[in-house]
Amino acid sequence: MAKVAFIGAGSVVFAKTLICDILQNPVLAGSTISLMDIDPARLKVAEVLARKVVNQLGVPAKVEATLNLKEACRGARYAITMIQVGGYRPATVTDFEIPKKYGLRQTIADTLGVGGVFRALRTIPELLKVGRTLRDVGAADPLLLNYSNPMAMNMWAIDRAVGVPAVGLCHSVQGTSRQLASYAGLDYKDVGYKVAGVNHIAFFLEFTYRGRDAYPLLFQAMDDPGVFARDKVRFEMMRRLGYFVTESSEHFAEYCPYFIQHGDAVIDAFGIPLDEYLRRCESIISTWKDTEKRMLEDDRDVTIGKSVEYGSQIINAMESGDPVVVYGNVPNRNLITNLPNGCCVEVPCLVDRQGLQPTVIGDLPPHLAGFIRTNVNVQELVVEAALTGKREHIYHAVMLDPHTASVLTLDQIWAMCDELIEAHQRDGFLPQFEPTRKGTGRSAATIDRVIGHFEATGITGVDRTDLSFVLHNQTSARFKGKVAFAFDRKAFSLAGPPSRVVEVAGGKVARLTLSFTRKQPETPLKLEAVCGHPAFLATGFDQPVRLHVRAGLEAKAAPIRVEWSGNTVAEGKLLVGGGCIGLEMRVNDSDVRPDPDKFWDGSALELFFAPLGKGTITQIVGLPGRKLGRVIHAQDRQPVSGAKCVCRADKAGYNVSLSVPLEAARIQAGKPFLFDLQVRVNALGDAHGRVGQCWQGSTQPHVESVRYALIEPLD
C-alpha cells in the first residue's frame, strides 16, 4: 500500500480533511499516513485526530508521526506539503505592517504583491528541501503535491531546482465554478467549463450550460445589483476583460492596479477588505484552543466528509488506474503557448496510472495573456532571487508588481524591501541575501441571445405553483418563436396549452403566466423551456418537494444546519410554541457587521414566512449585536413588535436566541405554515467572504426564489 507523507501536518483541520478524503477510497484504505511538522504540540493533535479517523472509518491504515522530514519521506510514494514558513507571527504580520508604513495596503498578501514575494522567499527553500528529500529517500517515481502558497512561484522553483514530479493544488477552480452556477441560477450538474492561466489568475475560457455558451447568463446576472454586490471586483473585471477569473474579489483586488490604490471611495464602492488575512488569522488563533479541545475529546466522533480537494483524487487515480480530470499547477511545456515556457500554469490534467498528463491549451486570448504576464514577470524574478540569492531581483520583482508600482516610488520600493529583508533576517529567515548598496474583455460586448428564466410569483400552497416565464430579448431584432414547456404531465397539469407563441421586440421583455397543479403527491416540479430558435437560451426550474418539519416542544425541536461549499455557516434548532417561532443558533461569521439598510450585504438572519395556501410572503430580518440584536421588517426596516434577539458574539461568530411572534409573521397559531431561513455572513472562516445560504439549499438572494419548508406545530 502507498505511503503518504503530510509535511506541515500541524495545519490540523486541512490535514484531517485530506486524510478523510484519502482513506474513504477503498484502494487507499490501507495506506500509511506519515505526519510531519516542526511543532510537536500541533503534530500530536494531528496524530490523535488521524488515529480517530482511522478507527472511526474502520480501515487498516497505519498512522505514524515524526519531527524528522527524512523519516516522513522515507519510502513515501506521495508527499503533500501544506506549510506556512514563519507562521502568522512574526512573518505574516511583518509582510503586512511594514508595507503599511509606506502607504501600501493589502488584503490577503499570499500570492502576489510584496506580501506574496516575501512569503515565496521564505517558503521556496523549505519546499526544495522536501522535494530533494522525497527524491532521495522516497519510493520510486514519487509525486509531490503542494498546497502551499504562493503556488505559482513555489512550483516554478521546484521544477527548476529539484526536478521531482510535482503538482500544485488549489480549490479556486472548483469553488468558482460552483459560484458561477449560483450567480447564473443554474443546476451545477449541467454546467461545463474550461479554465486556464496561472494559479489565482486563471480564466473561465468556456462556461456552458448543457453544452451551450452560458456567459450571457453571467453578464445578465452582473447587471443585478444584488448579484454584483456578492463579487464586485471579479464582476467588474469580467465587464472589462470579458472573462471571469478564478480567485475571489478580495484576492484579485491586489493582483491589479485598479482598485486599492485609488482611495477610500473606490475601496468602499467595491467592498475591498483591507488587512483581511490578518483579521481571519486572529479569528482562527482565538478559537484554536477550543477547536483543539473539541477535536481531541475521546467520546466525540470526528466529522468525516468528502471534500472537493484534488489531492485524494490524484492519488486514487494513480494507484487504481481509474482516470480523473483535475486542475493542476504544472510546468508550462508548450501548454499555454503565449505564456513563457517554464512558468507554472494551471490547466486541466488527466490522471491515471501514467501520472499527470496536462492538457495543451494553445494561445489564450491575447489580452488575458497580457494581463497574466504582468504577474508572471513578478513570479519569474522572485524565483530567480530565491534560487540565485541575488538580492537585486527582490527589488526588481516588487518594482514590477502592478499594485505596488501604482502606489510607491522607486525610492520607497527600495526602502520598503530593505526594511522587510532586515526584519525577516532578524527573525531567522532569508539568510542568503547579503546587503547591497541602498537605492542602487473579452469586453461586455453585445450578447446576441434571447434569454428566458422562470420566476415564482408567490407562495400558493403545497399542491400549486404559480410562475412567470420571463423572456429578455437582448438582440436588436424582433423575436418570435414557439416556446414549449416540458414537465412531467403525469404528476402535474398546466393551466392552458403547454406551448405558447412568444413575440418580443429587440431590447424588450415579455412575461408569460404559468400555473401548475400537482396531481401526484411528493413529486418535485422540474420544468424546461424549449425553443428551436438559435438565439434562444433558457434556464430550467426545479422546485423540490417542501421539507415537512414537525416543530414544537424543545425535546422535539427541528434541527437546522446551513452549509456552504462544505463549511458550516450556521447550526441550531427551530422551536414553535407559545405563540412564537424561535431559533437557537450558532452562526460562524468572523466579521459581524449588521446593517439594517443593506442586510443582504453583511451579517443577518432572514426569516421567510407564508401561510399554507394562498398568501403573501412575510420577510423578517434578525441583525446580530454584541449582546442584544435587532429584529426588523425587511420592507420598512421598522422593529418587529414583541420580537427578541439575544446574542453572544466572539471573534469567530455569534450565538443567537431569536423569537418572533406568529402574529408578526402573519401566521395563525396552531396552523401549518411555510418557512425558510437565509443566513448571511460577512466572512466565513479564513478564506470565504460574504456568504448567503438558505436552509433548504437555495443560493438565490431573492425572496421569490427561496425554497420553503412546511412547518406543522405540535399540540
Question: Among all residues, which ones are annotated catalytic?
Answer: 171
Is 471:510 a contact under the CB 8 Å cutoff?
A: yes
- Please state, in angstroms and rounded to a whole number, the distance separating the CA atoms of residues 660 and 575: 11
φ, ψ at 321 (rounded to 5°): 85, -5
CA distances from 479 to 532, 535, 555 (A): 12, 9, 58
- CA-CA-CA-CA torsion sign (142, 147, 148, 152): positive
Amino acid making up residue 36: M
Task: Return the C-alpha torsion angle 684, 686, 688, 689, nearest 10.
Answer: 70
Amino acid making up residue 66: T
- Cβ-based neighbours of 386, under 8 Å, separated by 6 or more: 120, 121, 124, 125, 153, 157
φ, ψ at 431 (rounded to 5°): -70, -20
- Please state, in angstroms and rounded to a whole number, the distance separating the CA atoms of residues 15 and 148: 12
CA distances from 399 to 105, 175, 381, 383 (A): 16, 32, 10, 15
- Please state, in angstroms and rounded to a whole number, the distance separating the CA atoms of residues 228 and 404: 27
334-337: Cβ within 8 A, 24+ apart: 334/360, 335/359, 335/360, 335/361, 336/196, 336/197, 336/361, 336/362, 336/363, 336/364, 336/369, 337/361, 337/362, 337/363
Give the distance from CA 54 to its chain's centroid: 28
Is 621:608 a contact under the CB 8 Å cutoff?
A: no
Closest residue by Cα to residue 116 from 405, 398, 423, 369: 398
Is 361:335 a contact under the CB 8 Å cutoff?
A: yes
> In 80-150, which residue ranges form alpha helices assigned H by DSSP?
93-101, 113-137
Query: Facing residues of 556 across strands?
Result: none
Q: Which three cell numbers stand for residue 440?
A: 542602487
Q: Which three cell numbers stand for residue 57?
A: 472509518
- Please state, in angstroms and rounded to a whole number, the distance separating the CA atoms of residues 572 and 659: 13
458 backbone φψ class: left, alpha, beta (φ>0; ψ -120 to 50):
left
Burial (CB count <10 Å: 0-12, 13-18, 19+), residue 642: middle
Query: Which residue matches cell numbers 530593505?
Result: 418
Q: How many residues does the chain have?
A: 715
- Please state, in angstroms and rounded to a whole number, the distance separating the CA atoms of residues 6 and 47: 11
- Please state, in angstroms and rounded to a whole number, the distance separating the CA atoms of residues 444 and 430: 45
